[in-house]
Amino acid sequence: MIKSSCVKHVLRSQDFSPEYLDKLFSHARKLMARMKSSYSRESLVLPLRDRVVTLLFYQPSTRTRFSFEQAARLLGAHTFVTENAGEFSSAIKGETLEHTIRNFGEMHADAIVLRHPENDAAERAAAIVDQYYPYCHIINGGNGTGQHPTQSFIDLFTIEEHLGRLNNFTIAMCGDLAHSRTTHSLAYLLSKYANVKMIFYAPGDKMEMKKEILDHLDEHGIQYMKTSFLSYALRRADAVYVTRAQKEAHGKDIEGETYFKITPKEMELLKPHAVLTHPLPIAAEISREVDSDPRSHYFKAVGYGLCIRMALLEDLIIN
Ligand code: NCD
C-alpha cells in the first residue's frame, strides 16, 4: 500500500507527481509478482472487501472497463457496472450526470470510474461527491477529447519497464493527437520528467496536438517539435506512442483521408531498443505482423494496467 497518499480524485494527469507514481508503480509491481506466482483470489488480502466500486461508462470501452472491474473484484470490492450508460441508465429519460452520481453516492459507492463524451464530466462528478459524499472518489476513465489519466499511468509504466528509465529519452507521439485523450494525459505527465523530448507526428491538420498542451510544454521549458514525416519521428525515438484516428470525434470529416500504418517496413526505422506502445484499440494504424516484434509492448501494457488500477483503487479507497 502507498503510505501517506492525499489523492482524492483522479481527474487530470498533471495532478500527479513522479514521486506519487513511483510509489504507485512499485506497489503495482508487487501485485504483478503475486499475480504471476498464484493467480487466485485467496492469495490476495482483499483490502476492499465490502467496498463498492461503480463503473459508469457512457462511451464504448473494453480494457478500461474490464480492467477496473477485474481490479476491484480481485481486491474484494463489489462492482456496479453500467456500460452504454447513455442508453441503459436513466440518462435516456433525461437524468443529468449530477443526479446519476447522487444516486450512486446514496448507494455508498466508494469510487466511481466515469467515462463520458463531455470534457467537463469528471470535474462535474467530483464537485457533486465533494459536496454530498466526501468519502467517494471519482476516477476519470476518459472524458471526451480531454484526458484519460489512468491510461497515461499505464503508458509511463510500460516505457519504464521496457526502456528502463523515465528521463533522458525521446518519445514520438504519432496519430490523431488533437482528439486522442491518452496523448494529452501522457504529454502532461512526461513534462514532469527530466530531459524528455517529444516529437509529434499528426497525419493531417485536423489532428495536430492541441494548443493548450503545446502552451503547457512551452511554459515548462520542454523540448518538442512537430514533423509531417513519420519516418523522421520513428528514426529518432526511444519510445513510439501510436493512437488511432478518433473517427467518432471527426464525424464525416475524415472519411477518405489517409492515415498512416506501421508495418514491418516502418519497424526497420526504429532503434533496436525502442519501445512501441499504443493504448488500444488498434484500428488499422499498426499491421498485425508488428504484434510479434519484440519492441511491441501494447498487449503487455494491458496486464500492467490491471495491477496499476488495483494499486490505485487500494490507495484511493483505503488511504
Ligand atoms: C483509449 C480511449 O478510450 O481514449 N482507449 C483506452 O482506454 N485504452 C484510446 C482510444 O479509444 O483510441
**Tens of pLDDT along 150-208?**
999 999 999 999 999 999 999 999 999 999 999 999 999 999 999 999 999 999 999 99
Reported as a pLDDT band with limits 50, 70 and 90, residue 39 is: low
Among the options 51, 115, 278, 309, which is catalytic?
A: 115
Identity of the residue numbered 170: T
Give the distance (Å) from ligand 1 centre to CA of residue 42: 32
Least confident of 5-9, 67-71, 190-194, 296-300: 5-9
Residue of 58, 64, 66, 298 with the most ligand 1 atoms within 8 Å of its CB, for mutation: 64
Give the distance (Å) from ligand 1 centre to CA of residue 143: 10
Among the options 29, 63, 78, 261, which is catalytic?
A: 63
Atom in ligand 1 nearest the alpha carbon of residue 64: 7
Active site residue 93: yes
Beta-bridge partner residues of 226: 200
Give the distance (Å) from ligand 1 centre to CA of residue 244: 9
pLDDT for res 306 = 97
Write out the three cell numbers for 155: 503508458
R_g of the chain computed on alpha carbons: 19
Give the distance (Å) from ligand 1 centre to CA of residue 139: 15
pTM of the model: 0.95
How far apart are the C-alpha atoms of 116 and 71, rounded to whole Å?
Answer: 20
Mean predicted confidence (pLDDT) in 291-302: 98
Q: Across all residues in the chain, what is the average pLDDT?
A: 93
Mean predicted confidence (pLDDT) in 285-311: 98
Give the distance (Å) from ligand 1 centre to CA of residue 189: 17
Give the distance (Å) from ligand 1 centre to CA of residue 140: 12
The pLDDT tens digits for 200-256 are 999 999 999 999 999 999 999 999 999 999 999 999 999 999 999 998 887 766 665
Active site residue 271: no
The strands making up 196-201's β-sheet, listed across from edge to edge, are 224-227, 196-201, 169-174, 239-242, 275-277
Cα 98 to chain centroid distance, Å, stands at 24
Neighbours of 258 (CB within 10 A): 8
Residue nearest to atom 3 of ligand 1 (CA): 142
Mean predicted confidence (pLDDT) in 2-6: 56
Residue of 57, 119, 280 with the most ligand 1 atoms within 8 Å of its CB, for mutation: 280
Residue whose entry in the numeric block shows the C-alpha cell 503547457: 216
Active site residue 64: yes
Handedness of CA 283, 286, 290, 296 (dihedral sign): negative
Residue 315 has pLDDT above 50, yes or no: yes
Mean predicted confidence (pLDDT) in 276-287: 97
- 145-166 CB burial, b ≥16 within 10 A, e <16: bbbbbbbbbbbbbbbbbbbeeb
Question: 318, 312, 293, 298: which is closest to 139 by C-alpha?
Answer: 312
pLDDT for res 40 = 58
Residue 6 has pLDDT above 90, yes or no: no
Atom in ligand 1 nearest the alpha carbon of residue 182: 4
**Entry field: residues in the chain:** 319
Ligand 1 pocket, CB under 6 A:
63-64, 142, 148, 151, 180-182, 243-244, 279-280
Active site residue 63: yes
Reported as a pLDDT band with limits 50, 70 and 90, residue 28 is: very high
Residue nearest to atom 6 of ligand 1 (CA): 279
Reported as a pLDDT band with limits 50, 70 and 90, residue 114 is: very high
How far apart are the C-alpha atoms of 287 and 282, rounded to whole Å?
Answer: 9
Q: What is the dihedral of CA 21, 300, 122, 85, to 10 degrees?
A: -160
Question: 96, 130, 95: which is closest to 112 by C-alpha?
Answer: 130
Residue of 59, 119, 150, 151 with the most ligand 1 atoms within 8 Å of its CB, for mutation: 151
pLDDT for res 42 = 61
Residue 4 has pLDDT above 50, yes or no: no
Residue 72 has pLDDT above 80, yes or no: yes
How far apart are the C-alpha atoms of 1 and 44, rounded to whole Å?
Answer: 13
pLDDT for res 94 = 84
- 20-59 CB burial, b ≥16 within 10 A, e <16: bbebbbebbbebbebbeeeeeeeebeeebeebbbbbbbbb
